[in-house]
Amino acid sequence: MRGYVSCAVDCPYEGPIDPGAVAKVVARLRDLGCVEIAVADTIGKATPERVHAMVLAALEEAAPGLLAGHFHDTGGMALANVDVAWDLGLRIFDSAAGGLGGCPYAPGAAGNLGSGALVAHFASKGIATCINRELLADTETMLEAMFISER
């Protein structure tokens, strides 16, 4: 079972989230038996400094191998936030082909971090992902054509 701590940095209703509150939810999900817990910047307003504080708090309750990062790119900081989480030991990150999606219940939560952008970012740092970049690019191109034609 995978659990999510949505809005782990900012909430569209409550504003900034205390990292200690995130740690408490991580502990509850861990105790419920989650084998993976994603900490999410659901609305994409996080900064690397705030992600650092949040992930450090989460690491007080769970080992890095239990945690995953979920960063939206609304504010253009998703890859910088991935870097912070990577430096703290996280190795699992959510992304979406072409950056599709968002969060329908969180006002202002635009597109997810694009898989192509994440894989290219890791490649530029010499981090292997085992993702076929050519197939991923083809898939993202196809999805873009499909969804642009629907608009």
Q: Please report, for the domain that includes residue 89, its CATH number.
A: 3.20.20.70
Known active-site residue 103: yes
**What span, in angstroms and rounded, lies between the C-alpha atoms of 93 and 104?**
20
CA distances from 83 to 15, 51, 110, 115 (A): 23, 10, 20, 15
Identify whether 60 is part of a domain.
yes
Number of separate domains in the chain: 1
Summarize pLDDT for 138-148 with one digit per residue, the tens.
988 888 788 76
Identify whether 46 is part of a domain.
yes
Summarize pLDDT for 8-58 with one digit per residue, the tens.
999 999 999 999 999 999 999 999 999 999 999 988 999 999 999 999 999
Identify whether 122 is part of a domain.
no
Span between the terminal Cα atoms of the chain, in Å: 36
Instruction: Specify the DSSP element, H or E, that contains 148.
Output: helix 133-150
Identify whether 146 is part of a domain.
no
CA distances from 72 to 9, 35, 80 (A): 11, 23, 11
Q: Which structural domain, as residue segments, surrounds residue 103?
A: 2-113
Identify whether 77 is part of a domain.
yes
Please report the beta strands in 6-147, taking only residues with DSSP state E, as ranges in sequence order: 10-11, 15-16, 36-41, 67-71
Identify whether 47 is part of a domain.
yes
Can you say how many angstroms the Cα of residue 139 is from the centroid of all Cα atoms in its chain?
21
Identify whether 134 is part of a domain.
no
Burial class (CB in 10 A: 0-12, 13-18, 19+), 130: exposed
| Residue pair 103/4 in contact by the 8 Å Cβ criterion | no
Summarize pLDDT for 59-83 with one digit per residue, the tens.
999 999 999 999 998 889 999 999 9
**pTM of the predicted structure, to 2 decimals:** 0.89
Identify whether 44 is part of a domain.
yes
The whole-number pLDDT of residue 82 equals 98
Catalytic residue among 7, 11, 34, 103: 103
